[in-house]
Amino acid sequence: MSLPRKGRRTIRVGEQAYYWMIRFGYIPDPSGTVGDLTIVLLIEAGACPGRRIEAYFEGKRSIPFLWEDVRQNLAITPQTVRGVIDHAVAEGWDPQRATSTFIIDHAETLFPDCKAGDESWAT
């Protein structure tokens, strides 16, 4: 299944075009409250729909009250997207070959540049 057109962005790496988008999820903490934020970066080869990379970035967030701002300590930029694509290709992912989804867990450890701003509020 290909990425929906709404909300996706395009990036070119070499001669290849890729589509990418961000999804959010939360890891529940043991007490049953909402815990850490997980950002999922979905990347798909433009010429071959369905050839996908999924990179999972786990960040801390803080919501003392439901009506206050949600803050996060990760920023996914086009530079990060390019780094994820380069890493997947270096690890053997081929956007032209039909394979299963290439998954990168704890991508924040591979791409430390995605950290954003002051993290002193994150616990």
- The answer to whether position 62 is within a domain reads yes
Confidence of residue 86 (pLDDT cuts 50, 70, 90): very high
Supply the pLDDT for residue 44.
92
Closest C-alpha to 93, from 13, 4, 24, 23: 13
- pLDDT tier at 105 (50, 70, 90 boundaries)? confident
Q: Which domain holds residue 38?
A: 9-114
Query: If you search the block for the tokens 């057109």, which residue do you land on?
Result: 5
pTM for this structure? 0.75
Contacts of 91 (CB under 8 A, 6+ apart): 102
Instruction: Let me know if residue 105 belongs to a domain.
Output: yes
Residue at token pair 């989804």: 101
In a domain, 1, yes or no: no
Q: How many domains does the chain have?
A: 1
Tokens representing 69 are 């701002």
